[in-house]
Chains A and B, each alone.
Chain A
Amino acid sequence: MPAFTFFGGKGGVGKTTVSTAYAMQLARGGARTLIVSTDPAHSVGDLIDQPVGPDPVAVTDVDGLRAQEIDPRRTVEEHRLQTKRELRDQVSAGLVREIDAQIDMAHEGPGAHEAALMDELIAVMRGAEAYEQVIFDTAPTGGTLRLLALPELLEAWIGRLREKREAAMRLYDRAAIGKKQSRRQREGDVILERLRERRDRFRFARETLQSAGRFILVANPDALSVRESTRAVEQLTSYDLPVAGVVVNRITPTPPADEHGEAAAFLRERVAVETAQLRALETAIDAPILARVPTVAGAVLEDVGDALGAIDAPPDEDAH
């Protein structure tokens, strides 16, 4: 099984840049690597200056690296259409209209978006056998955390649903006089089958995340980002998800000591503020700081990659 690394953090801290630079570095080190963007803004393609779609494509500049962009909106739409097709196969035309409205309702809002994203993440994880390293450039913190908490909640919830359904089935069985099998029993099999399939998928996701997954938070050296990261680490830990540490991105470089201009004075002031924030982060957070990435001027991906050098690649289980 490959190793799965998720990059999290507030919007705009540089998750896509850091995760892409990291993926490139892993690939250059010889690991078959996949970078997956789940951000609806889809900026991996912009960053590597190459069109990227829902199926993995080879990144032209880097051997052994493939990139993929997931669009949960498309997934929601496909799921809606598939459910409606099944409805038309099952019930009379009169009923279709009423139930159609309910299907539409279930596919609107942020909940549907997150559920679809979860399905896509599971699909990627299940089909990742060809890779040694899979890197996810995840969506911003709040949604991601809720999403990653879902497998556990859903599994428990589906378990209870199945118990109810099975108990009802058993009772119908006992109530049936003679050896008659009721319509409900036959249909119940489809429903139980669906619930079982769902449960297996969520269980796989949870087990994979806990055994082969790890989370790296990207933060900037400012008060908002420091607080957000501290909360995120607490939340991930409370969900039993492994946190590898924090990458601090966009640290202002200290100007040379012989510079005395206004710009140098401004930079020194910034550096002092950021140093205080970094210290606050170190004391507040229950995870190591893996790398400190300076604000870079030129070749962003290369420079960020160099600064990330300190992060070890997680072991790929097959390699041992």
Chain B
Amino acid sequence: MTGPRGPALRETLREWLHGLYHGMIEHPASEKIEQEAEDLEDMFIMACFPDAFGISSPTAYYTAELLPYVAEDLAAWERRMWNRESVLERKGHQYHF
């Protein structure tokens, strides 16, 4: 019989268990948290650049300073904002219907 024994067996077992824990608990949870973070970030960008939706902002001059640092995320953000039909549409994703 071949296969891991002793410390090697324990190591494999630990890896499997951690994988199981990661798949069942860690990953779905971090997915939710990450989406929550994305939602918050969307609100942040929305508050910084309401001009993109035709709402004029009294602070556009100051928030323009941030544009170079959010430029990469801006395209994706705009798509997300325009496509979001309801709060449920996005929140629903976490349940994997």
Contact = CB atoms under 8 A, between A and B. Distances in A.
Contact of B71 (A90, A161, A198): A90
Interface in B24-55: 26-27, 30-31, 33-34, 36-38, 40-41, 43-44, 47-49, 51-52
A115 interface: yes
Given A164-B44, A177-B26, A99 B34 contact: no
A41 interface: no
Interface stretch (B4-12, B61-69, B89-97): B61-69
A83 interface: yes
Interface in A112-166: 112, 115-116, 150, 153-154, 157, 160-161, 164-165
A122 to B, nearest CB: 12
Contacts of A112: 60-61
B67 A99 contact: yes
B84 to A, nearest CB: 17
A194 to B, nearest CB: 6
Contacts of A195: 66
Interface in A75-100: 76, 79, 83, 86-87, 89-91, 95, 98-99
Q: Which bucket holds chain B's interface residue count?
A: 35 or more
Dominant secondary structure at the B interface = helix
B33 A106 contact: no
Nearest to B38: A168
Given A106-B51, A161-B47, A167 B40 contact: yes
Given A90-B71, A164-B40, A171 B33 contact: yes
A194 B72 CA distance: 18
A286 B40 CA distance: 46
A259 interface: no
Given A83-B67, A167-B40, A175-B37, A111 B61 contact: yes
A61 interface: no
B44 A106 contact: no
B81 interface: no
B18 to A, nearest CB: 11
Contacts of B73: 184
Interface of B: 22, 26-27, 30-31, 33-34, 36-38, 40-41, 43-44, 47-49, 51-52, 56-75
Interface of A: 76, 79, 83, 86-87, 89-91, 95, 98-99, 102-103, 105-107, 111-112, 115-116, 150, 153-154, 157, 160-161, 164-165, 167-169, 171-172, 174-177, 184, 187, 190-191, 194-195, 198
